[in-house]
Chain A
């Protein structure tokens, strides 16, 4: 412990002289107590002839198949009566991209949007706080002089390299004017690498694919369309 304190010495007065807490697991393991996990060296007789386990595997697959089959047919009887939504459908797979899950958590962190002022100008004042906070260095801003002297500064360019982004949400937290938000949208696929850089226009105008407007953040004012 003593040496550990010494090592952290420089940080001691970081927060008004408070000593930072030590890591909780410190000193819990001593040498010789290390537990190792490994597979047993030899297989049992049943394992060595494989067949029982192959059959067991087939059985499991068949069980799932039959269960899905039955629930599917049950669901079909509902569907023909026009009551498809009332019963559980067979397999839990969904048919992406024709079908998308609507049940992401409302605080899931996904693709960014830039918010707008009432006159469709970006809310962003190009303060670079997000770019400073971003641990992935994926936000690139070029600031310019806004024609309206009351606004003064705005982003001429605002690019996010979405393929570098780690969706930590720091940008959103750093923003002093609520100009950048992470939506719950996770659909970031594309065929071209260049299109993984989202520019200002795109970030200002794209619409989340499936999420209800008020679903972006419950209680927030809706985005201007």
Chain B
């Protein structure tokens, strides 16, 4: 056999996979989840928990028959072979699995009532699926250290640990920081932060996600909420231009935690600690109110102010005295419609701002990038660039403001403080600010319109490598906050420009098809989330952006 792929049957279903694929991965390919603890698609194989044992029969070409298996073998270790037969739930396999469960539970404290993992714990799930037997143990269970802090963000409970070594493999092979190790032997073995070290890399929280039990839990989520009360919404982290795909766990009005979502080629399975803490920043955000400060026109509702802004934009059609600066937090759809509107009005002074710099972390070779803004690439690709002929870029716009040439300035989105100071802005006659964050300029701008944040609206962002990810609305927006895309539709109507899209969904479709647009809302790789328990099953399956 010299081909690069092999064909095998999993419970009678034939599946073709590349050579070298492990049986457990081939089974996933065939839509079959082989129960496992230590296996993780993002980590090297270890094969220590024995939960994935299956009846694996190899093909003997000389005898021209399948060799009966002498004993069940671990599906996460065995390579798929041509013509192999795998049975994942025969009575013998089930019995063997129940015994594995019994061993794993010998010293487990079963303190689910006070364990934060309860509800998304693989041990719980598999106990219900494969064991369901009472403990036969008569002796007292072995006691191990509990409540051991692993750095500031993780708490370790040795009694719950099943020694699967996922966490140590994560620090060894993913972050390559080698902080965690398993020490001692037999029933005294525990995970420890290795001598003299501190568990403080930028990705520590991932070990709590991949820990199949509640041995590693996050201090940030400790006792905050039982997981079955959480609602899950697919989202994207805006912490940097990596755009890690996430699940926002919330209760409708408040984000409780942010978890990574598998996305091949972007963040794979991981995300950083800073990205998880972004929800705190979001909760503390000072939100602006719709305001108009023009003599004779004070007050007004959001829609009347929108109309006023739209008409004002139309007044500056083909004018050199108007400029638009856009924050790199704009979504692709909004950027596309905004650049279309400005193109029709022939307002060419348009650019993307520097945006946020506060959260900037040093770029590393795992996930972090040095741009702490999500969508610079997407905004530029969607057309937020100065007009080719006469348009001014951000530096020229600043110079023009300095020279008093700009009369009308539209600021879209938050975080422009790094480019423009209030003093500079006071030289512009009319400043219109459309943003989700109240700041110094909101107190002086001629018009302010409140926008919804990333957690409160739908859209897509494109990361620095060109992968587009979709975020969805998780929270109820505060009263009055406007959806960016709807607002742009109204601006189009008020400025007398016919919008090319009827709705956000329509815009996304057009974005994909538009041959002139640089944005390709392409999803590469499948979204799968086999790692989490039933809670996350709704987020699995391929998702079109």
Q: Known contacts being A149-B146, A149-B147, is A143 close to B113, with CB within 8 Å?
A: no
Flag the segment in A22-30, A122-130, A214-222 that touches B: A122-130
Q: Is A103 an interface residue when CB atoms closer than 8 A count as contact?
A: no
* Complex CA–CA separation, A176 to B115 (angstroms): 13
Contact A177 B113 (CB under 8 A): yes
A126 to B226, CA, bound (A): 10
Contact in complex: B226, A125 (CB < 8 Å): no
A125 to B226, CA, bound (A): 13
Contact of A125 with B223 in the complex, beta carbons under 8 Å = no
Nearest to A179 among chain B residues (CB) is B113
| Interface residue? B114 (CB, 8 A) | yes
Min C-beta distance of B430 to chain A, whole Å: 49
Q: Are B113 and A145 in contact (CB under 8 A)?
A: no
The answer, among B222, B226, B229, for a CB contact under 8 Å with A145, is: B222
**A125 to chain B: which residues have CB within 8 Å?**
113-114
Asked if A129 and B113 make an inter-chain contact with CB atoms under 8 angstroms apart, the answer reads yes
Report the nearest A residue to B116, measured CB to CB. A153
* Chain B minimum-CB-distance residue to A151: B114
Interface residues of B in 208-246 (CB under 8 A from A): 222-224, 226, 228-229
Tell me whether B147 and A126 are in contact (CB under 8 A). no
Residues of B within 8 A of A127 (CB): 112-114, 118, 226
Interface check A132, CB cutoff 8 A: yes
Residue A152 at the chain B interface, CB threshold 8 Å: yes
Cβ proximity bits B104-141 to A, threshold 8 Å, 1 near / 0 not: 00000000111000100000000000000000000000
- Chain A nearest CB, measured from B91 CB (Å): 14
Q: Are B223 and A132 in contact (CB-based, < 8 A)?
A: no
In the complex, what residues of A have CB within 8 A of residue B112's CB? Answer: 127
Q: Which residues of B contact A129 (CB under 8 A)?
A: 113
Of B114, B146, B228, B229, the residue contacting A153 (CB under 8 A) is B114
User: What is the chain A residue whose CB lies nearest that of B113?
Assistant: A127
Contact with A along B391-420 (1 / 0, CB 8 A): 000000000000000000000000000000
Knowing A149-B146, A152-B147, say if A132 contacts B113 (CB, 8 Å).
no
Q: In the complex, which residue of chain B has the Cβ closest to the Cβ of A124?
A: B113
Interface centre among B112, B113, B118 (most CB of A within 10 A): B113
Q: How far is B114's CA from A152's CA once the two chains are assembled, in angstroms?
A: 8
Interface residue? A144 (CB, 8 A): yes
By a CB distance below 8 angstroms, the chain A residues around B146 are 149, 152
Closest partner residue, chain A, to B228 (CB atom) = A132
Contact, CB under 8 Å: B114 / A128: no
| CB pair A143 B228 closer than 8 Å | no
B252 to chain A, nearest CB (A): 14
- Chain A interface secondary structure, helix, strand, loop or mixed? loop
Query: Which residue on chain A has the smallest CB distance to residue B222?
Result: A145
Contacts of A143 in B (CB 8 A): 223-224
Bound: A195/B320 CA distance, A: 68
Q: What are the residues of chain A within 8 A of B229 when measuring CB–CB?
A: 128, 132
- B228 engages A126 (CB within 8 Å): no
Q: Return the chain B residue nearest A150 by Cβ.
A: B146
B218 smallest CB distance to A (angstroms): 14
A 126-149 binary contact with B (CB < 8 Å = 1; else 0): 111100100000000001110001
Given contacts A132-B228, A149-B147, A152-B147, contact A144 B223 (CB under 8 A): yes
Interface centre among B146, B222, B223 (most CB of A within 10 A): B223
Q: Cα distance A93–B244 when bound, in Å? A: 72
The minimal Cβ–Cβ distance linking A115 to chain B, given in whole angstroms, is 15
A132 CB contacts on chain B under 8 angstroms? 226, 228-229
Contact of A176 among B113, B147, B226, B228 (CB under 8 A): B113
Cross-chain contact B223 with A145 (CB below 8 angstroms): yes
A145 proximity list for chain B (CB < 8 A): 222-223
B-contact 0/1 string along A147-191, CB 8 Å cutoff = 001001100000000000000000000001100000000000000
Chain B CB count within 10 A is highest, among A126, A128, A132, A176, for: A128
Contacts of B223 in A (CB 8 A): 126, 143-145, 153
Cα separation A183 to B224 with both chains bound (whole Å): 30
Taken together as a complex, chains A and B put the C-alpha atoms of A192 and B321 apart, in Å, by 66
> Which residue in chain A gives the minimum CB-CB distance to B224?
A143
CB distance from A15 to the nearest CB of B (A): 12
Chain B nearest CB, measured from A126 CB (Å): 7
Is there an interface contact between B226 and A128, defined as CB atoms closer than 8 Å? yes
Q: Min CB distance, B503 to chain A, in Å?
A: 34
Chain B residues whose CB sits within 8 angstroms of the CB of A144 once the complex forms: 223
A129 vs B119: C-alpha distance in the bound complex, in angstroms?
Answer: 11
A128 to B114, CA, bound (A): 9
CB-defined contacts of A177 to chain B, threshold 8 Å: 113
Q: Which residues of the partner chain A approach B113 to less than 8 Å between Cβ atoms?
A: 125, 127, 129, 153, 176-177
Residue of A nearest to B146 (CB): A149
Complex alpha-carbon distance, A40 and B19, angstroms: 86
**In the bound complex, CA of A188 to CA of B224 (Å):** 32
CA distance A145 to B217 in the complex (A): 14
Closest to A175 in B: B113
Contacts of B222 in A (CB 8 A): 145
**Nearest Cβ in chain B — how far from A114, in angstroms?**
15
Question: Which residues of chain B are near A152, meaning CB under 8 Å?
Answer: 114, 146-147
- B-chain residues with CB within 8 Å of residue A153 when the two chains form the complex: 113-114, 223
A128 to B118, CA, bound (A): 11
Sample of 8 more A-B contacts, CB < 8 Å, known A126-B223, A149-B147 = A125-B114, A127-B113, A128-B229, A129-B113, A132-B226, A144-B223, A153-B114, A177-B113
A-B contact pairs, 24 of them (CB 8 A): A125-B113, A125-B114, A127-B112, A127-B118, A127-B226, A128-B226, A128-B229, A129-B113, A132-B226, A132-B228, A132-B229, A143-B223, A143-B224, A144-B223, A145-B223, A149-B146, A149-B147, A152-B114, A152-B146, A152-B147, A153-B113, A153-B114, A153-B223, A177-B113
What residues make up the interface of A, taking CB atoms closer than 8 Å to B?
A: 125-129, 132, 143-145, 149, 152-153, 176-177
Enumerate chain B interface residues (CB-CB to A < 8 A): 112-114, 118, 146-147, 222-224, 226, 228-229
Return the 8 tightest CB-CB contacts between A and B, nearest first. Answer: A127-B113, A143-B223, A153-B114, A128-B226, A176-B113, A125-B114, A125-B113, A149-B147
